[in-house]
Structure 1
Amino acid sequence: MADTPLWEELYNELRRQIESGELPPGSAVPRELQLASEHSLSRTTVRQALARLQADGLITRGQGRLGRRVRDQRPLEWNLHRFERGERRDDASTGMDDWAAGVAEQGREPRQEVRVSIEAPPADICMALELDEGEMAVRRTRIRYVDNAPYQLSTSWFPESLARDTLLMETRDVAVPGGILRHIGCPQVAIRDRIIIRMPSPAEADQLDIPAGTPVGEHQRTGYGEDGQPIRHMVTVFPGDKHFLVYELEL
């Protein structure tokens, strides 16, 4: 039997440290130079071992000074039957909206980055919101982090006539009792969910730091107002290995 390649020996050792908890979730992976020095290996050999660990989804790819870290393998429980329904958990005192509160209840740390723009929506959004040709929409995009790792890309679209000059235009994580739509006098009274499983686009894989070959889920939720008209269409993309979805329905 041929000798085990040097890169594989290092890979096996680092994997053992990760699986044993010696390198716990979120901890920094030793730098390339440190590993090369400690194991008397070339940096090329070290990179081979690290690339394999990254492909296995055990470590992050590392960005700039942050370096590589051990991935937290715990999936997030997303209770979609409760999300945005009934007694919402938005809390202005903590700044947590309903999604963030659900994450915090699991002992995890939520964070969201928000961008807002007014755009001519693509055809599928026009159809979902039943917009007339030429009608503009407000796009509210959030990157959602759990324990400082990207977990979701969530984009909500609203008719411009509904959202302009309201809290929906704020480029920050807004938390108000009952949610923003109820706060501005346009509550959602019904929703329709659609869930798709697919492979990520290159941009999605990059933003979510997804290991190669990992599928994503796409959760589409359309919210309807008291007059039965759609007032929001939300599309959330999430890594398949970081979530499990829960629905509890009365029969």
Structure 2
Amino acid sequence: MSEQTPKLPPFRQYADALRDDIGREALKAGDKIPSENQLAERFNTTRATIRKAIALLRSEGLVVSHQGKGAFVRPRPQVRMLGAGANYRARRATGMSNFNAEAAAQGQRAVQHIRDVSEVPAPPEIAELLGVERDTPVVVRRRLFTVDEEPMQFVDGYYSTQLANGTAIAVPRRIRGGVHAVIEDPDGPIKRRVARFVEDLDIRMPSPTEADDLRIPPGVPVARVLRTAYDTDGQPLEVLDSLIPCDRHIFRYVIEVPVSA
């Protein structure tokens, strides 16, 4: 005799129904969730059970509550990041940094806020990716990316002092076209071309400070992305250490498979 699937607790069933409403946009971003009384009547249950269902959706980052106003479907501004070489070159051709160009192509306004530019000892992971000894001085550019005034990610860019010193990379201000415009400028001091990226992703829950600074609701994880850029000789140019709330980005990777000989 086959085993029966255990029945979910009532509040989980009601949360599933509301989650489905949100997923198929019967309840859209910014919409007010029906009142506890309305939902209790809909599901023929108690207000206490409805409160547990709403609390579950809140912990998942789907719903936000405002004192005296009720619960609302949480708006989720998203930037679709396409990992493909042709896309990178197309975005670079706009004269904007890659992230800003990607957001602009989707009708959004991205701003990069400089938090700090300084020399620091290379952390172990960064040193390994940049090909330098641990604690070797490197230049770091710490930034906060926002889209339509919503914090989207922290990005720390690391560069060898040999590459960065004496260029705009080591200066604490924004760079027109981004750091890669400096690296690839044929009339500039570096004159190297970006040829390849390698990304390492780690998904985890944010620390309390990270959740506060990036306005991350309970239950939403973050992606830590280490992205290393290499030149045509296979030498590392840059390591970006990004902390990205997972409810605000869609990553799409296009992987070209060589045709066998």
Give your verdict on TM over 0.5. yes
* Amino acid in structure 1 at the alignment position of 2:97: D
> SS of the counterpart of 1:189?
strand
Q: Higher Cα Rg: structure 1 or 2?
A: 2
Match of 2:139 in 1: 138
Structure 1 residue 83: Cα displacement: 8.4
CA distance in 1, matches of 2:165, 2:198: 24
Q: Is the 8 A contact 2:144 2:153 kept in 1?
A: yes
* Amino acid in structure 2 at the alignment position of 1:210: I
Match of 1:126 in 2: 127
Q: How does 1:21-40 map to 2 (within 5 A)?
A: none
Q: Please say if 1:221 is aligned against 2:260.
A: no
Match of 1:106 in 2: 106
CA distance in 2, matches of 1:119, 1:55: 37
Percent of pairs with identical residues: 28
> SS of the counterpart of 2:92?
coil
Structure 1 residue 22: Cα displacement: 10
**TM-superposition CA deviations, 1:9-50 (whole Å, max 9, x none):** xxxxxxx9xx8669569xxxxxxxxxxxxxxxxxxxxxx9xx
Q: Is the 8 A contact 1:198 1:216 kept in 2?
A: yes
CA distance in 2, matches of 1:224, 1:22: 40
Structure 1 residue 173: Cα displacement: 2.7
By percentage of residues, which structure has more strand? 2
Q: Is the 8 A contact 2:225 2:241 kept in 1?
A: yes
Q: How does 1:1-251 map to 2 (within 5 A)?
A: 55=59, 57=61, 58-59=63-64, 71-82=74-85, 85-89=88-92, 91-92=94-95, 96-114=96-114, 115-176=116-177, 179-183=181-185, 184-251=190-257
CA distance in 2, matches of 1:22, 1:134: 46
Instruction: Extract unaligned runs of 5+ from structure 2.
Output: 1-21, 33-50, 67-71
Count of aligned pairs: 206
**TM-superposition CA deviations, 1:58-80 (whole Å, max 9, x none):** 4499xxxxxxx984224321112
Q: 1:188 to 1:54 in 2, by over 3 A?
A: same
Structure 1 residue 221: Cα displacement: 1.0
Structure 1 residue 137: Cα displacement: 0.3
CA distance in 1, matches of 2:168, 2:28: 44
Instruction: Extract unaligned runs of 5+ from structure 1.
Output: 1-15, 26-47, 62-68
Q: 1:70 to 1:112 in 2, by over 3 A?
A: farther
Match of 2:4 in 1: none
CA distance in 1, matches of 2:65, 2:182: 35
**TM-superposition CA deviations, 1:103-142 (whole Å, max 9, x none):** 0111111111012111111111111111135521000111
Match of 1:11 in 2: none
> SS of the counterpart of 2:209?
helix
Structure 1 residue 85: Cα displacement: 3.1
CA distance in 2, matches of 1:22, 1:159: 44
Q: 1:199 to 1:146 in 2, by over 3 A?
A: same
Structure 1 residue 90: Cα displacement: 5.7
> SS of the counterpart of 1:117?
strand
Q: Root-mean-square deviation (CA), in Å?
A: 3.5
Q: 1:146 to 1:24 in 2, by over 3 A?
A: farther
CA distance in 2, matches of 1:136, 1:107: 39
Q: 1:172 to 1:90 in 2, by over 3 A?
A: farther
Normalization by structure 1: what TM-score? Answer: 0.68
